[in-house]
Structure 1
Amino acid sequence: MARYTGRGVHYQVVQDIGSRIVGGQYAPGDVLDLRALREELDVSLTVLREALKVLTGKGLVDARQKRGTFVCPRSAWNLLDTDVIDWRIDGGDAERVLRDLADLRSVIEPAVARRAALRRADADLETLDAALEAMTSAGDDAVAAEEADAAFHRALLAATGNELFARMDLLLEPGLRARDRLVHAHSGADDPVPSHRAVLDAVRDRDAPRAELAMLDLLAKAMKDIDDMAVHAESR
């Protein structure tokens, strides 16, 4: 699920309550005191209810007659939701988020690269080339680099020719974007262009084994970035 992009009071209420739940201020099963929340946040009941609808869509809260609005167990949370990922990172759970993402990618993306090499069309190469060029041009622009990286991996999924693989961008992209934001904030991060170019070159050559190995190398570099960030955080 994409990040909630509302603004104003409604947006702030979603952010406030969501971050409290994910951060552990409210425990699973806790019943939310809506009257107290209204007074604390100084919002109308309408605004509060609309915010709770958004959080219900993310799996964080639910409501039942005679029980009220309560916090759902973690097993119900949409952990791939962009806001939930951000709240986990802000709450100090960044390393676990990134390592879980790396583990997930290690299962999916090497197979994607292999299939893309076997099935890609010329139009797929054009899209991948454009994404890599955007990545090269992004330089220190973290937002542009994040967009380019997301576009590259999205194009690679599409190049498999499998619509279900293509829709796995919904699964991978929120975490990938969060990873990019954290990595680009870390000055010692590795240049991502060469490893992505190696994947693209193998896909272009229709060399499936080399594409798979190139993706494994890319993922190894991504894991090194996470390790370096963890060391840097500990040293601080």
Structure 2
Amino acid sequence: MAGYNGRGVHGQVVDAIGRSIVRGDVPQGATLDLAALQAEHDVSLTVVREALKVLAGKGLVDARQRRGTFVQPRSAWNLLDPDLLAWEITPATLPRMLGELEELRAIFDPAAAALAAERRDENDIALLRARFAEMEGAADSASATTADLAFHRAVFSATKNELLARVELLARSLFEERDRLVHEHVPGSAALALHGALVDAIADGDAAAARRATEDLLGRASDDAATTTHTKAP
């Protein structure tokens, strides 16, 4: 996931400052020196200020007269912001975050699969089969990760519930990191057949079978992820 780092100079500054705050290099409560940030990133003061506006929208910083711009406490951060999730991934935080992702999926994924089976239409079925075919044809871990993410996005889309679909969107950076690790270290995972069973259950309109297939997938995903928690994140 490119995040702000792929959005030009402005985006690179947002990414760099945001990452330093989220990862604790700049402590909560610290007042930011805008001139120092300008010199550090070799950009104009306007770029720094615009970057801080973006970070303020994410709850990371705020500004007050006489105090200047300062780092907000973590309780004020928008922790579901996709960029914050991406910035927080480190070798130290990855095991905890993957554990939290498993808990999140256990709550949402089976229900989403059941709804998808109840509400899917022919276009959804066609898309799911196409995404599954992409998973089957993935030639390397990168393409397998892309196909896996697209498959689950199609499941959530078939629920016809936009808020559920946003759950996947919000956690996409963590899903991507998890899938990347699994597809790099557990090639030919048995989960592929389980994905196929989920497609069939949704296509058949069988909500109970879709829920069971998803629960089986989550169990497999937990086993696969357990073999990767020692792997360092970027």
Kindly report the root-mean-square deviation, in angstroms, between the aligned alpha carbons of the 2 structures.
Answer: 2.4
Please name the residue that 1:81 is paired with. 81
1:197 correspondence with 2:196: yes
1:228 correspondence with 2:209: no
Please name the residue that 2:61 is paired with. 61
Please name the residue that 2:209 is paired with. 210
Contact 2:127–2:154, Cα closer than 8 Å, also in 1: yes
- Superposition map of 1:113-192 within 5 A: 113-142=113-142, 144-187=143-186, 190-192=189-191
TM-superposed deviation, 1:82: 3.1
TM-superposed deviation, 1:214: 0.8
Distance 2:162 2:84 in 1: 26
Contact 1:4–1:83, Cα closer than 8 Å, also in 2: yes
Report the CA distance shift for 1:98/1:53 in structure 2 as closer, same or farther (over 3 A): same
Return the letter of the residue paired with 2:9.
V
Q: Give CA-to-partner distance per residue, 1:20-51, whole Å, 9 cap, x none.
A: 11111112111111122222333220111122
Contact 2:86–2:173, Cα closer than 8 Å, also in 1: no
Return the letter of the residue paired with 1:55.
L
TM-score, length-scaled by structure 2: 0.87
Contact 1:78–1:84, Cα closer than 8 Å, also in 2: yes
Contact 1:14–1:52, Cα closer than 8 Å, also in 2: yes
Contact 2:82–2:169, Cα closer than 8 Å, also in 1: no
Please name the residue that 1:97 is paired with. 97
Distance 2:20 2:91 in 1: 9
Contact 2:79–2:85, Cα closer than 8 Å, also in 1: yes
Return the letter of the residue paired with 1:131.
R
Q: 3-state SS of the aligned residue for 1:150? A: helix
Contact 2:114–2:207, Cα closer than 8 Å, also in 1: yes
Contact 1:113–1:203, Cα closer than 8 Å, also in 2: yes
Distance 2:18 2:176 in 1: 19
TM-superposed deviation, 1:112: 1.0
Residue segments in structure 2 that go unaligned for 5+ positions in a row:
none
Q: 3-state SS of the aligned residue for 2:95? A: helix
**Aligned residue pairs: how many?**
231
Q: 3-state SS of the aligned residue for 1:168? A: helix
Return the letter of the residue paired with 2:208.
P
TM-score, length-scaled by structure 1: 0.86
TM-superposed deviation, 1:71: 0.9
Return the letter of the residue paired with 1:145.
A
Return the letter of the residue paired with 2:220.
K
Residue segments in structure 1 that go unaligned for 5+ positions in a row:
none
Q: Give CA-to-partner distance per residue, 1:183-219, whole Å, 9 cap, x none.
A: 3343568354222111111112222222111101111
Q: 3-state SS of the aligned residue for 2:4? A: coil
Distance 1:57 1:178 in 2: 25
Report the CA distance shift for 1:9/1:229 in structure 2 as closer, same or farther (over 3 A): same
Q: Give CA-to-partner distance per residue, 1:53-97, whole Å, 9 cap, x none.
A: 222232221222222111122222233333322221136311112
TM-superposed deviation, 1:151: 2.0
Please name the residue that 2:26 is paired with. 26
Q: Give CA-to-partner distance per residue, 1:160-192, whole Å, 9 cap, x none.
A: 233433443333433322322333343568354
Distance 1:162 1:12 in 2: 34
Contact 1:80–1:174, Cα closer than 8 Å, also in 2: no
